[in-house]
Amino acid sequence: MTNDLSTLNGSLVEMKDQLIYELGQKGVSASYDSSTGLLGLIGKISEIQTGGSCYHIEFSEASYTAVGGSATLEVYLQENYAPKSSASVTVTGSDGSVYNGITNSQGIASVTVSNISTTITFTASYSNVTDACTVNPAIYIINDDASVDNSSTLFGSYISLRNKGTNSVTYNSSTPCYVLKNTRGSSESLRPYSALDGYTGSFKLTVRSKNINSDCCPIGLYYYLDDNNWGGVKDEGTVIWISSKTNGSFTESNKGGNDHRYNEMTHEFIYDSVNNTLTINRYYNGAIEHTQVMNIPITLTSSVKWGTSTTWYNNTTREIYEIIAEPI
C-alpha cells in the first residue's frame, strides 16, 4: 500500500521503510522498534562498514520445506555489491545445529540441513552480516508408526487382481504392527492405502516391514484404475517383480534379488508423475541393496487407487511396522 506523502504520518512511514531498505542494501539488518523509533533506525547507519569491504547475505527463500527430513538451503553472498566466491558461510539452526558452505563463482553456497521434524529457524552469517529463514517439516500424506490401531482408516477394502485373490489386515498391539495376510492361494489382491486414493502427484512411500513365513507375502506399491488396468513393483522377500495388466493384457517380470524372507526390510517406493515411473529401492541394514524402475504403461487419473499387492501363497503374512507417504 502506497503511503500518503501529503501527510506527516505518511511521510514518516515511508521514511521508515526506505531507511530499512537502504540499510539492508548496505549489509545492515534493521527493523523498526517502537521504543526507539526512527532514531533507532538512524543509529543503525553507524553499522555500515566503511574503509573496507561491504557485505550482504541472504537466503534464496524465506521459507523451505524439508522433504524426508532434509532441505537444501541456498545462501547468496555479496562483497561490494558483487558475488563473493570461495567464502565460508556459517548456517546455524535454532535447534543448535551448525552447517558450513562454500560459495561458488556466483556467490551461492548450498547447505543441506537434516533431521527436521519441527519448524526450525536457520541463520546464515558471514563477517558482520546475517539473514534468517525457516525450514518446515513436510506435510505427510501418511505418517503411521503402528503405535496405535489405525487399520480401519489407514487401509481400504481389498481388491481382487488375479484368480479372485483376497487378503486381510489385523493389528497386533504387542509388537506393535499391522499384520497383512494373503488369504487365498495361487492368487493376487490389492490392499489400498486410503489416504492415497485419487492421488496423482509425485510421492514417496516408505514402508518398514518383515515377512513371517517361509513362503512370502510381498510388500509393494501398485496402482489400480480398474480390473483391466493395474500394476506396480513389489518385493516378495526373495526377488523383485514388476507387474502390469494393461487393457486386459497381463505381463510380469522377475528382476532378481537376495533372499530376505526372514529379515526386517525398509522399502522406498517412488512415483514420479512427470516421467510416469515407479521406483522400488530395497534397503537392508540401512544400506540400499536393490533399485528397480518401472515405466507405467498407462496414464493415471484421479480414480487411481494405490496399495500393496499380496500374493501368491495362502496364509502368508507380513508385519508392517511403519508407513510414511510424503509428496515430493
Cα–Cα distance for residue pair 175/55, rounded to 1 Å: 56
Strands 203-211 and 188-192: unpaired
Short-list 260, 201, 249, 253, CA closest to 232: 253
Are both 195 and 269 inside the same structural domain? Answer: yes
Are both 43 and 101 inside the same structural domain? Answer: no
Are both 148 and 255 inside the same structural domain? Answer: yes
> Which residues are CB-contacts of 147 (< 8 A; sequence separation ≥ 6)?
176
> 66: pLDDT confidence band, cut at 50, 70 and 90?
confident
Q: State yes or no: pLDDT of 51 exceeds 50.
A: no
- Give whichever of 66-70, 235-239, 278-282 has the largest mean pLDDT: 278-282
> 107: pLDDT confidence band, cut at 50, 70 and 90?
very high
Which structural domain, as residue segments, surrounds residue 155?
142-327
Total tally of structural domains belonging to the chain? 3
Q: What is the mean pLDDT of residues 215-233?
A: 96
pTM for the full model?
A: 0.64
Q: State yes or no: pLDDT of 322 exceeds 90.
A: yes
Q: What is the mean pLDDT of residues 37-45?
A: 74
216 in any annotated domain? yes
Residue 56 or 29, more confident: 56
Q: What is the pLDDT of residue 116?
A: 87
Are both 177 and 286 inside the same structural domain? Answer: yes
2 in any annotated domain? no
Within 13 Å of residue 264, how many CA atoms lie on the same side as its CB?
8
The CATH number of the domain holding residue 299 is 2.60.120.200
Are both 197 and 163 inside the same structural domain? Answer: yes
158 in any annotated domain? yes
320 in any annotated domain? yes
The residue assigned the cell 530499512 is 20
Tens digit of each residue's pLDDT (9 = 90 or more) over 239-276: 999 999 999 999 999 999 888 889 999 999 999 999 99
Are both 175 and 125 inside the same structural domain? Answer: no
Residue 121 or 27, more confident: 121
Q: State yes or no: pLDDT of 140 exceeds 60.
A: yes
Residue 258 one-letter amino acid: N
281 in any annotated domain? yes
Are both 64 and 80 inside the same structural domain? Answer: yes
Tens digit of each residue's pLDDT (9 = 90 or more) over 150-201: 999 999 999 999 999 999 999 999 999 999 999 999 999 999 999 999 999 9
Helical ranges in 163-262 per DSSP H: none
The mean pLDDT of the chain is: 91
Are both 74 and 178 inside the same structural domain? Answer: no
> 325: pLDDT confidence band, cut at 50, 70 and 90?
very high
Which of 115-124, 144-153, 226-235 has the weakest average pLDDT? 115-124
Short-list 225, 213, 189, 208, CA closest to 309: 189
End-to-end CA distance of the chain: 36
Residue 322 or 2, more confident: 322
Cα–Cα distance for residue pair 26/261, rounded to 1 Å: 63
Are both 182 and 239 inside the same structural domain? Answer: yes
Are both 299 and 213 inside the same structural domain? Answer: yes
Are both 21 and 59 inside the same structural domain? Answer: no
Are both 150 and 100 inside the same structural domain? Answer: no
The CATH number of the domain holding residue 94 is 2.60.40.10
Q: What is the pLDDT of residue 301?
A: 95
Residue 51 or 251, more confident: 251
* Helix (H/G/I), strand (E/B), else coil: 19: helix
